[in-house]
Amino acid sequence: MSLAVKLKDFDGTDFNKGAGFLKTTLWYFVNALIVRASWNPFMGVKIKLLRMFGAKIGKGLVIKNNVIIKSPWNLVVGDDCWLGEDCWIDNLDKVVIGSNVCISQGALLLTGNHDYTISSMPYRNAAIHIEDGAWIGAKTTVCPGVTVHRNAILTVGSVATKDMEENGIYQGNPAVKIRERKIKE
């Protein structure tokens, strides 16, 4: 007899990792009405609210409109980073972004997934680390557990399912290294 998936048994206990029900609920409203809102061009207000909810953010963050950050208490951002329009940091687990990192428009940093081998399909989350100087291109996905090493590039529309080497340029689904990045002064 084959076993069946039983989604009614899913309890989502890993969802609020690092925050309780009240903090999570309050964040949803603050995020929807102020931080993510397309009417709010004031980056300073967004950054202050993210910090109030536990994000660790360095100086010089550029955060555009419609950026979704699921759990600011699981976010660390270095200095002089850019978060482009419509990028989504779905951080059920830690997301650590180094300095001088560009996360382009529509990029998805996805720390959570479901364990399909268990009938209730509980979360199986893993942190994402993006090191200094990396560039996550537009409409890309970085999957759970991936480390994007220093100065690596994930090109437009690509999906990183494994760690990316330092100075590597990656393309495709799944992304593979296509060449070495060379930076001129």
Residues in CB range of 105: below 8 A, 6 or more apart: 64, 84, 85, 86, 87, 138, 139
| Topology of domain 17-179, CATH | UDP N-Acetylglucosamine Acyltransferase; domain 1 (2.160.10)
pLDDT in tens, 109-132: 999 988 888 888 888 899 999 999
pTM (whole model) above 0.85: yes
Three-class DSSP category at 73: helix
The domain ranges of the chain are 17-179
- Which parts of the chain sit beneath pLDDT 70? 1-2, 12-17
Q: Which two tokens stand for residue 80?
A: 């002089």
* Selection from 56, 61, 104, 91 nearest residue 79 by Cα: 61
pLDDT reported for residue 14: 61
Looking at residue 1, its pLDDT comes to 53
pLDDT of residue 82: 98
Could you give the C-alpha distances from 26 to 14, 43, 111, 123, 143, in angstroms and in order? Answer: 18, 20, 22, 23, 27
